Amino acid sequence: MKKLVISSGAGISAESGISTFRDAGGLWEKYPVMEVASHDGFLKNPALIHKFYNERRKQLVTCKPNFAHIGLHQLEERFDVRVITQNIDDLHERAGSKNVLHLHGELMKVRSLKHEDRVYTLTSDNLETSVDTRDEYGDPVRPHIVFFQEDVPNFTKATELAKEADIFVVIGTSLNVYPAASLLYYVKPGTPVYYIDPRPAPIPEGTAVHVLPMKATEGVQWLIDNLKE
């Protein structure tokens, strides 16, 4: 089976009702990004960050995967599909995708502030945390999110997947945030690369990328209709 590697961003979840970050009306217009999503912001005002991610979780549990997530799962019948996502939502998993690598963390998880490897999954009836939340060892927790100014621990794994791709598809990202935005440059020369986004970011000249200026749901339908095994 050909390896189909997907790199998704906020745009794939837009049709599920989750705001993107940098579109008009996006999250970073409403919230100061360095206060709610940076390492310094967490040190300065952790209560605000807990509140911000509590709100994101409460919204997420009301949302459902859309056809873009579901169609990528359907493609597993014909391809070895690997999803690398910048998204912190769990909509790829809820659509059934078997191989999902989160670059920027996972909204429904928290981890111990003392032991980074102690990661806990929240449930829809217990999704709020605060500076007073303690884990089973009595240690405080933080959102399992990669904040700005922090390393991206899964990036090396993601570059390996990009190098192994037979087909590479970027969906719904403004390609603003590094290192995630650089993934498409790790593919082997000659690998077909597609970029699905209704308002695609400019791609440097000389890079062979097929731009599909469409919504994620339409773009995934295009992949289902046009990709050859």
Report the interface residues with ligand OAD, using CB under 6 A: 9-11, 14-15, 20-23, 26, 37, 86, 104, 146, 172-174, 176-177, 197-199, 215-216
Min dist. Cβ of residue 173 to ligand OAD (A): 3
Min dist. Cβ of residue 208 to ligand OAD (A): 20
Please name the amino acid found at residue 67: F
Active site residue 104: yes
* Given 50, 69, 73, 104, the catalytic residue: 104
Please name the amino acid found at residue 82: R
Evaluated on CA atoms 65, 68, 70, 76, the torsion sign reads negative
> Which residues make Cβ contacts (< 8 Å) with residue 189, sequence separation at least 6?
none
DSSP 218: H
Longest CA–CA separation in the chain, Å? 54
Q: If we measure between CA atoms, which residue out of 218, 221, 178 comes closest to residue 198? A: 218
Contact status, residue 11 vs residue 216, Cβ threshold 8 Å: yes
Residue nearest ligand OAD, Cβ-based: 11
How many DSSP H helices and E strands does the chain contain? 9, 9
Rank residues 177 and 227 by Cβ distance to ligand OAD and give the closer one: 177
Q: Which residues of 109-148 are buried (b: 16+ CB within 10 A; e: fewer)?
A: bbbbeeeeeeeeebeeeebebeeeeebeeeebbbbbbbbe
Min dist. Cβ of residue 172 to ligand OAD (A): 3
Min dist. Cβ of residue 187 to ligand OAD (A): 18
Rank residues 9 and 65 by Cβ distance to ligand OAD and give the closer one: 9
Q: Which residues are catalytic?
A: 104
